[in-house]
Structure 1
Amino acid sequence: MTDRPSVLVISAHAADFVWRAGGAIALSASRGSAVHVVCLSFGERGESQGLWKQEGMTLEKVKQTRREQSSAAADVLGASIEFLDLGDYPLRVDEATQDRIVSIMRERQPDVLLTHVANDPYNRDHNLAHETTLLTRMVAQAHGHDRSTTPIGAAQVLQFEPHQPEVCGFTPELLLDITPVFDRKTKAMQCMSGAQGHLLQYYTELGLRRGVQAVRNGAPAGVTHAEAYQRTYPTVGDQLW
């Protein structure tokens, strides 16, 4: 891994990366890392409640609004973004899309992948995003796949916190201090408020709670906001601490 690791985010819907990993994205970008977000879906059917309450709303209008909101949020966080438009509720990922994600991974050469947990009983789209990330990571590592491109290394996969972590079997293994960039995360969350405004308060309060827990686990007293992550693979080192 380089001093400025490349970060690739696989987000099931167009706002997931903002609520759950906006701090990590902004922090990484502020330190000079290249951060790229792949949105598998606009979340146009099941994740855009606020938009569907507006008179005269159509599916294409929802998609366009979500594209604009997510692009604005990514810009605030310092990330590039692309949309695969695979639909939601349910999300469907075919072989051609898997190949495309593998190509993105080989082009971006990520040191770290951020995505959803393995088992979210409330939203199976999140499960598919997780499985797609692991599957395409495996293929992107294969030396016999597409010899014209370079295989990726052993990129860690960090699962960001789901909306109801206890039910999803989520165990925080990393409390990431996002205090220096929480204002940027707030601005990015505000970009998404038209479709899911009710989540702004929830994720603001969650950041505060995780900040308190970070201090209780040894972070400096000045830490006020944090995000929680669970590792998928073992970490490697030459000492116990």
Structure 2
Amino acid sequence: MADTALVVSAHSADFVWRAGGAIALHAAHGWQVTVLCLSYGERGESAKLWRQPGMTLERVKAEREREARAAAAVLGVHDIQFWDLGDYPIALSRDSLFRLVDVFRAVQPRFVLTHSKEDPYNHDHPAVTDFTQNARITAQAHGHNPGQTVLGAPPVYLFEPHQPEQCNWRPDMLLDITPVWERKRAAIECMAGQEHLWEYYTRVALQRGAQAARNSEKPVKWGEGFQSVFPHVVETLG
């Protein structure tokens, strides 16, 4: 069976900016990556679309989904889901929590990617992180829906927020995405509704690449940073 990974994205573009390289890299190695877009970001992250005359909420959602599906295809995503839970603020109900628990148990991810624990600029992001952690814990509970295969202990990595210094986010993992950078950039360019972020996240990838090269003996050009939630369990320190 293929290795699996789960990405829980608050809005329909977050997984592209923040984890597109990780997704493409693992997909290229045969991993099945599931991406959950809990919201389209239709209220707070679609200003360019709302400036168009006659724009409607349903048209904004449809365009955001079209863009995200195109980006997911470029990255090699196995399964992308759109839960339409609204944004600013996102509505994370008990039923949605149990739905995510079911996804955890069905996918059995080897690792999970989601947002930083703090973000004073966007409260949807830490809300989704807490929601994801709660679902992970519940998916590990033998008393929840007995008979289902319980979840093990997949590591959780928090991808980079837009302004990390204000979010108390410090990367302890730097991933070399140089082999798949062109794919990530192509996926970024699928997100036409937020074109103002294309160059910003290109600069972020260059910066993380430079830091990865500085902290290794590898000629890394493009990178992504992640913060671990749990300790790494290893066989050796070398």
TM over 0.5: yes
Identify the residue that residue 123 of structure 1 maps to in structure 2: 122
What's the offset of the Cα at 1:149? 1.5
Determine if contact 1:99/1:136 at 8 Å carries over to the other structure.
Answer: yes
Identify the residue that residue 46 of structure 1 maps to in structure 2: 44
Q: From 212, 220, 223, give the equivalent of 1:226.
A: 223
What's the offset of the Cα at 1:10? 0.3
Aligned letter for 1:24? A
Identify the residue that residue 164 of structure 1 maps to in structure 2: 163
1:70-108 Cα offsets, whole Å, 9 max, x none, are 011111101120011000000010011001010011000
In the aligned structure 1, how far is the partner of 2:55 from the partner of 2:27? 35
In the aligned structure 2, how far is the partner of 1:111 from the partner of 1:239? 20
Structure 1 residues 177 and 149: alpha-carbon distance in aligned structure 2, compared to 1, 3 A threshold = same
Normalising to structure 2: TM-score of the pair? 0.97
Structure 1 counterpart SS, 2:227: strand
Q: From 211, 214, 221, give the equivalent of 2:212.
A: 214
Structure 2 counterpart SS, 1:70: helix
Identify the residue that residue 74 of structure 2 maps to in structure 1: 76
What's the offset of the Cα at 1:150? 0.6
Q: From 7, 23, 26, give the equivalent of 1:25.
A: 23
Q: Which runs of 5+ in 2 are unaligned?
A: none
Identify the residue that residue 198 of structure 1 maps to in structure 2: 196
Structure 1 counterpart SS, 2:166: coil
In the aligned structure 1, how far is the partner of 2:108 from the partner of 2:66? 27
Structure 1 residues 138 and 180: alpha-carbon distance in aligned structure 2, compared to 1, 3 A threshold = same
Structure 1 counterpart SS, 2:15: helix
- Runs of 4+ aligned residues of structure 1 deviating over 6 Å after TM superposition are none
Structure 2 counterpart SS, 1:197: helix
Structure 1 counterpart SS, 2:96: helix
Identify the residue that residue 103 of structure 1 maps to in structure 2: 102
Determine if contact 1:113/1:155 at 8 Å carries over to the other structure.
Answer: yes
In the aligned structure 1, how far is the partner of 2:59 from the partner of 2:96? 24
The yes-or-no answer on 1:58 pairing with 2:56 is yes
The yes-or-no answer on 1:238 pairing with 2:232 is no
Structure 1 counterpart SS, 2:125: helix
Aligned letter for 2:212? A
Structure 1 residues 45 and 215: alpha-carbon distance in aligned structure 2, compared to 1, 3 A threshold = same
Aligned letter for 2:231? P
After superposition, the CA RMSD in angstroms is 1.1
The yes-or-no answer on 1:177 pairing with 2:176 is yes
Aligned letter for 1:88? D
Normalising to structure 1: TM-score of the pair? 0.96
Identify the residue that residue 131 of structure 2 maps to in structure 1: 132
In the aligned structure 1, how far is the partner of 2:4 from the partner of 2:35? 11
Structure 2 counterpart SS, 1:38: strand
Identical columns (%):
51
What's the offset of the Cα at 1:211? 0.6
1:214-235 Cα offsets, whole Å, 9 max, x none, are 11001412x1100000000000
Determine if contact 1:5/1:112 at 8 Å carries over to the other structure.
Answer: no
In the aligned structure 2, how far is the partner of 1:85 from the partner of 1:205? 30
What's the offset of the Cα at 1:130? 0.3
Identify the residue that residue 14 of structure 1 maps to in structure 2: 12
